[in-house]
Amino acid sequence: MGIPEQSTRSALPRVIRSKDEIWRTVVELKASGNTIGVVPTMGALHAGHLSLVERSAAECHVTVVTVFVNPTQFGPKEDLAKYPRDLDADLNRLGRLGVDLVFAPSDEEMYPPGHSTFVEPPRAARGLEGQCRPGHFRGVVTIVLKLLNVVPADAAYFGQKDYQQSVVVRRMVEDLDLPVRIVVCPTIREPDGLAMSSRNTYLNRDQREQALAISRSLQAASDLAAAGQLDADVIRDRMRQVLLAAGIERIDYVALVEGESLQEVREVAGPVVALVAAFVGETRLIDNMRIG
């Protein structure tokens, strides 16, 4: 069995809304010898997502993209209601890449009445985003586990843009013995350095210009480390200065952490990840870069 009949290289992927149907379809495809890649997304697809899709398509026979704005990973004061949603545009983009299947369930399909079980996230979820967005990773690991259960893929593709999420998901998959390979793909940036994000659509022209300071602050950290600066406090200070100079004052964190434990480092003695979370206007953006 190849890819499902309805989607054989047609313009648009086949959209499946029910958990049972996506599970059955994927199991049948696997039984016929296909390898499956899954790209979990919340839609509003941009070039960053598409790079994950391309990587999956290069490595697997069939790619399933999930499109689900997961309510349980948003805090009460966050942007769930206004999060960009445009399934038709997403399907067009995915069709052009030859994606076979899209799983786009409703909230009720994923969280039917009575749903009350959540996954306790690993230790790596405690700081950074976990601290600023209480409950966020509980929602993320719960939905990722549920999606991997109903789309029993061989490999799942995540972006390095959400660095902490990628560490947390890898840990969860290892700790819970899930039979899936997690692939983390590089951040895709605009030519001027801005990391691709669905939330960039909230920015007006001035804010978009201001947002460039986030990638500039990471680059400044990388340059300092490359020039031999080992003192993490000095590097963090410089990162803050770059943000403040651009008028970004609401800074959730500027961090230099060890890549697996996500513990803050004192010295950039080996590979370290620099991370920033800050508000540009009302829009909260995150970005990161490996340095050292």
- Write down the least CB distance from residue 176 to ligand PAF, Å: 16
**What distances in angstroms separate CA 237 from CA 241, 244, 254, 275, one per listed residue?**
6, 10, 9, 13
Q: Binders of ligand PAF among 196-255, rule CB under 6 A?
A: none
187 contacts ligand PAF (rule: CB under 6 A) = no
Nearer to ligand PAF, 41 or 283 (CB): 41
The one catalytic residue in 49, 61, 115, 136 is 49
Nearer to ligand PAF, 32 or 201 (CB): 201
- Write down the least CB distance from residue 81 to ligand PAF, Å: 16
CA distance 109 to 2: 27
How would you label 13-47 residue by residue, b for 16+ Cβ within 10 Å and e otherwise?
A: bbbbeebeebbebbeebbeeebebbbbbbbbbbbe
CA distance 142 to 161: 20
| 141, 156 Cβ separation under 8 angstroms | no
136 is catalytic: no
- Write down the least CB distance from residue 91 to ligand PAF, Å: 17
CA distance 88 to 74: 24
- Write down the least CB distance from residue 6 to ligand PAF, Å: 24
CA 37, 128, 181: angle at the middle one, nearest 5?
A: 20
x/- site string to ligand PAF, residues 254 to 273, per CB under 6 A?
A: --------------------
Q: Binders of ligand PAF among 21-80, rule CB under 6 A?
A: 40-42, 70, 73
Tokens standing for 137?
Answer: 């990773």
Number of residues that bind ligand PAF (CB under 6 A): 10
Cβ neighbours of residue 146 under 8 Å, at least 6 residues apart?
110
Nearer to ligand PAF, 197 or 222 (CB): 197
Nearer to ligand PAF, 66 or 210 (CB): 66
By C-alpha distance, which of 67, 62, 73, 54 is closest to 105? 67
Nearer to ligand PAF, 5 or 108 (CB): 108
Q: Binders of ligand PAF among 118-177, rule CB under 6 A?
A: 140, 143-144, 162, 165
| 121, 157 Cβ separation under 8 angstroms | no
- Write down the least CB distance from residue 42 to ligand PAF, Å: 4
Q: What's the chain's length in residues?
A: 292
Q: Which residues are catalytic?
A: 49
Q: By CB under 6 A, name the binding residues for ligand PAF.
A: 40-42, 70, 73, 140, 143-144, 162, 165
